[in-house]
């Protein structure tokens, strides 16, 4: 009996980012502090990608650095800030400069747009934005939300276009070389992003064997048939967090917010923490083993 060939989908972070062409549309995984593709964002900056358009339910430091570096100035999002620390400083500055194109949706609306992409339908009907200011007073483009009468009930519904991006980029706790992905804790819209994107890149904290994946099949949230490339990136969401592995780096985020009050401070941060370190390994060396160990999650609570 001839054993089937096992596809090895592993590539480096640098190789993965090279596949993203200028002008690409990217569905961006994670939610808030949880599992954002930080290392991927930093490598996009190092490779000087331009004119990207990002779709996400909510992200923070990762999108703010992309905005500051002008890698991405077009967004379709439901949330964009540095959580409890305040509004995203680079985003605010670029909006004042008139450089950012911004479409604002509710969290449920964006989640359903990703679901529509995963279902391969052109649009999704929703009701919850009716009666709110979302349709009238936000930067939502009028041609992206159609209010119609339901053909069955006669009640008004809103139609929103589904998202099927050129690339879907997510972070995960574990994956094998075939692209089977294990996610712990909050999954956000990552399942839908992977199923609805034309090319999917998974940044895994650890690449494990297929045998280990098979020992816990209930943890495999995304089967390999939906994944094109797998990248092993330990601490790939720093300075944010990955449930079960490490917590967010609050002192670093506070420093970031202070520095990025000015354009000069942002440029200093970008040079020191993104460009001058050269690559992700250089960044981990700069952070230091002592600090990374301090951020390790409590095995009982996951944070």
**pLDDT value of residue 53:** 97
Distance between CA 61 and CA 238 in Å, rounded?
Answer: 10
The answer to whether residue 134 scores a pLDDT higher than 60 is: yes
**pLDDT value of residue 263:** 98
197-207 confidence digits (pLDDT tens) = 999 999 999 99
Distance between CA 99 and CA 255 in Å, rounded?
Answer: 25
The answer to whether residue 34 scores a pLDDT higher than 70 is: yes
pLDDT band at 35 (very low <50, low <70, confident <90, very high): very high
pLDDT band at 2 (very low <50, low <70, confident <90, very high): low
238-290 confidence digits (pLDDT tens) = 999 999 999 999 999 999 999 999 999 999 999 999 999 999 999 999 999 99
Q: Return the residue matching tokens 């090279």.
A: 18
Q: Kind and range of the H or E element at 39?
A: helix 38-46
Closest CA to 39 of 274, 200, 206: 274
Distance between CA 30 and CA 36 in Å, rounded?
Answer: 4
| Averaged pLDDT, 25-41 | 95
pLDDT averaged over the chain? Answer: 94
Share of the chain above pLDDT 70, in %: 97
pLDDT band at 117 (very low <50, low <70, confident <90, very high): very high
**pLDDT value of residue 107:** 92
| Token reading at 266 | 């942002």
User: Domain extents for the chain?
Assistant: 23-120+164-294, 123-161
Q: Which residue has the higher pLDDT, 301 or 238?
A: 238
The answer to whether residue 301 scores a pLDDT higher than 90 is: no
Task: Decide: 297 and 247 in contact? Cβ < 8 Å.
Answer: yes
The answer to whether residue 140 scores a pLDDT higher than 90 is: no
| Token reading at 172 | 């995960």
149-171 confidence digits (pLDDT tens) = 999 999 999 999 999 999 999 99
Distance between CA 54 and CA 158 in Å, rounded?
Answer: 22
The answer to whether residue 139 scores a pLDDT higher than 80 is: no
Please report, for residues 19, 62, 167, the alpha-carbon distance to residue 199 in angstroms, rounded to integers and kept in the order given: 10, 20, 5
Q: What global pTM score does this model have?
A: 0.95
pLDDT band at 3 (very low <50, low <70, confident <90, very high): low
The answer to whether residue 132 scores a pLDDT higher than 90 is: no
User: Taking the CB of residue 133, how many other CB atoms lie within 10 A of it?
Assistant: 8
CATH for 23-120+164-294 is 3.40.1080.10
Q: Kind and range of the H or E element at 25?
A: strand 25-28
The answer to whether residue 221 scores a pLDDT higher than 80 is: yes
């Amino acid at each position: 009996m001839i054993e089937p060939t096992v596809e090895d989908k592993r590539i480096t972070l640098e190789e993965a980012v090279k596949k993203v062409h200028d002008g690409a549309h990217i569905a961006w995984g994670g939610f808030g502090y949880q599992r954002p593709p930080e290392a991927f964002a930093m490598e996009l900056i190092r490779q000087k990608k331009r004119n990207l358009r990002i779709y996400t339910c909510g992200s923070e430091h990762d999108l703010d650095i992309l905005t500051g570096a002008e890698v991405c100035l077009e967004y379709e999002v439901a949330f964009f800030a540095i959580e409890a620390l305040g509004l995203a400083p680079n985003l605010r500055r670029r909006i004042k400069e008139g450089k950012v194109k911004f479409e604002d949706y509710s969290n449920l609306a964006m989640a359903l747009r990703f679901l529509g992409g995963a279902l391969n339908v052109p649009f999704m009907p929703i009701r919850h934005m009716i009666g709110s200011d979302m349709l009238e007073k936000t930067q939502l483009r009028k041609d992206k939300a159609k209010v119609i009468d339901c053909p069955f009930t006669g009640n008004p519904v809103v139609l929103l276009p589904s998202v099927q991006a050129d690339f879907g980029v997510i972070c995960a706790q574990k994956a094998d070389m075939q692209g089977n992905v294990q996610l712990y804790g909050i999954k956000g819209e990552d399942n839908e992003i992977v199923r609805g994107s034309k090319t999917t890149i998974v940044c895994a904290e650890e690449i494990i064997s297929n045998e280990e994946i098979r020992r816990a099949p209930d943890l495999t949230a995304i089967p390999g048939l939906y994944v094109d490339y797998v990248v092993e990136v330990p601490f790939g969401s720093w300075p944010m967090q990955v449930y079960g592995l490490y917590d967010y780096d609050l002192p670093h985020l506070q420093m970031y917010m202070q520095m990025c009050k000015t354009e000069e401070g942002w440029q200093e941060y970008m040079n020191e923490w993104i460009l001058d370190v050269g690559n992700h390994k250089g960044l981990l060396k700069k952070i230091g083993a002592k600090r990374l160990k301090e951020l390790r999650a409590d095995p009982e609570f996951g944070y």
